[in-house]
Amino acid sequence: MTADMDKSSNPGTNTAAATIAAASPHIIATGHEGTVGDQVRASIQRIRGGEMGMLPALAGLVVLGVILAVLSPFFLTKGNIANLMTQTAALMMLSIALTFVIILTEIDLSAGITGGVGMAVFIKLVNDKGWNWVAAFAVALLVGALIGTFIGYFVAKIGIPSFVVTLGLFLGFQGLMLVLLGDAGAYAVQTPAVAAIMNKSMPGWAGWLMVIVIVAVSLLTGLYDRGRRLASAMPVRPLSLLVARVGALAVGGILVVILLNKNRSLGVLRIEGVPIVVPIALTILWLGQLMLDRTRFGLHIYAVGGNPEAARRAGISVVRVRMVAFVLCSLLAVVSGLFTISQTGVVQSSTGRDIVLQGVGAAVVGGVSLFGGRGRLVQAAVGALLISMITNGLGLLGYSAGFTFLVTGGVLIIAASIDALSRRRVGSTSAART
């Protein structure tokens, strides 16, 4: 009680916590302590606790890759691997777009057709009005932003479930596509630069430059984070872990570039190099994840996805977070639309219509939780790759489109089950961890 009196003679100061802490070193760990072995054990424990992230998807990727490679002699050829990358690009971009809203437990069923509307505006400006394609694409992005704001307004401000709003737009925009594209019904993509995104490859040196940039960025961010922690006198993970991670990235990148820089044409014309779409998609992926992981806004997206009421009480504008997420989704949906028309060479009324459910499926398969608050963009990308591999591989094996749909649907349900079960597991271990 006397100690009590001493301290309360100095009311209102709240620095006691700081003084005590300054005197004693870190008793409570931060997850960065220990040897490589400790770190590995800790991550195994997290996985067993239900935080599986994209492990199921990666495992699926490997298993499916092995099965398809055994069954089809064409699957692991360099031509098909390049094919797989370009086939995945549009779906990958759309599943990344959808991840922003799925984290918020929302959905955007109109995302695919939003890309279609953006491309309809784009192609009319380019083909009919003779606009420069860059300026026209900027307008298409603006259209995307408007659509996203519209959805966000009705979901976040008016309070209509996003499923209903975007289902309405999904139907409405199919009509809008018919109106925009008119009697002709289809516009050919005539701009070489747009067609090149999916159909042309970079020269060999550019592929190497890409790998160097990726490795350098990953190494430098790792070292920067480490430096910041050391500057704050916080424990850091062993340097060897960072080296191993960057090393694995470098080896993977080098293998892919070696493969893609070889001639993969079966005809006279040489086709070699990394497809142009790859660095574009990787840059968007990197920027998006940077925003989610390292900015206040990104954290607020996860917070609103986890517990909107807690976020609101913490002073976060839940309405603003939701609206911006829908805008980001629609913007990236337009980028996905550009990839699609670059690949198909045409804008028609069905552009972007059928891809959206695959996009949602890809995100979920990759480990983005439908229950909100959990998921990374790279997981959506891996999920998209898995879905594309199913389509690509089953096609190579000569199965019909109907069978492919059945398998894709089955994989989606398995993925959603893993999501639901791992969520239950996270809940059930809470008591055991006291």
Query: Nearest approach, Cβ of 219 to another protein (angstroms)?
Result: 18
345-404 residues in contact with another protein (CB under 8 A) are 372-374
Which of 44, 71, 186, 234 is close enough to bind another protein by CB under 8 A?
234
Asked whether position 14 contacts another protein by CB under 8 A, the answer is yes
Which of 2, 3, 266, 402 is close enough to bind another protein by CB under 8 A?
3
Residue 83: CB atoms within 10 A of its CB come to 17
To which residue do tokens 């090149």 refer? 196
To which residue do tokens 């990666």 refer? 58
Query: Nearest approach, Cβ of 32 to another protein (angstroms)?
Result: 8
Q: For residue 343, what are the contacts with CB-CB under 8 A and spacing of at least 6?
A: 86, 87, 89, 90, 198, 199
Query: What single letter denotes the amino acid at residue 128?
Result: D
Asked whether position 268 contacts another protein by CB under 8 A, the answer is no
Q: Where are the alpha helices (DSSP H) in 133-238?
A: 133-152, 162-181, 192-199, 204-231
Asked whether position 49 contacts another protein by CB under 8 A, the answer is yes
Inter-residue contact 161 to 322 (CB < 8 Å): no
Give the x/- contact pattern for another protein in 393-432, rule: CB under 8 A.
Answer: ---------------------------------xx-xxx-
To which residue do tokens 């990148």 refer? 253
Please identify, among the stretches 79-87, 107-115, 306-314, 395-403, the one whose residues bind another protein according to the rule CB under 8 A.
306-314
Residue 346, helix vs strand vs coil: strand
Asked whether position 22 contacts another protein by CB under 8 A, the answer is yes
Q: Which is nearer to another protein, 264 or 374 (CB)?
A: 374
What are residue 187's DSSP bridge partners? 347
Q: For residue 383, what are the contacts with CB-CB under 8 A and spacing of at least 6?
A: 54, 57, 95, 361, 362, 363, 364, 365, 366, 367, 368, 415
Query: Nearest approach, Cβ of 3 to another protein (angstroms)?
Result: 7
Inter-residue contact 99 to 368 (CB < 8 Å): yes
Asked whether position 37 contacts another protein by CB under 8 A, the answer is no
In whole angstroms, what is the distance from residue 301 CA to residue 140 CA? 25
Q: Which is nearer to another protein, 5 or 269 (CB)?
A: 5
Q: How many residues sit in the footprint of another protein (CB under 8 A)?
A: 60
Asked whether position 4 contacts another protein by CB under 8 A, the answer is yes
Asked whether position 270 contacts another protein by CB under 8 A, the answer is no
- Dihedral (Cα; 82, 84, 87, 92), 10-degree rounding: -110
Q: Which is nearer to another protein, 316 or 335 (CB)?
A: 316
Query: Nearest approach, Cβ of 147 to another protein (angstroms)?
Result: 28
Q: Which residues bind another protein (CB under 8 A)?
A: 3-5, 7-8, 10-14, 16-22, 24, 26-32, 49, 51, 225, 228-229, 231-234, 294-296, 299, 302-303, 305-307, 309-311, 313-316, 372-374, 426-427, 429-431, 433-434
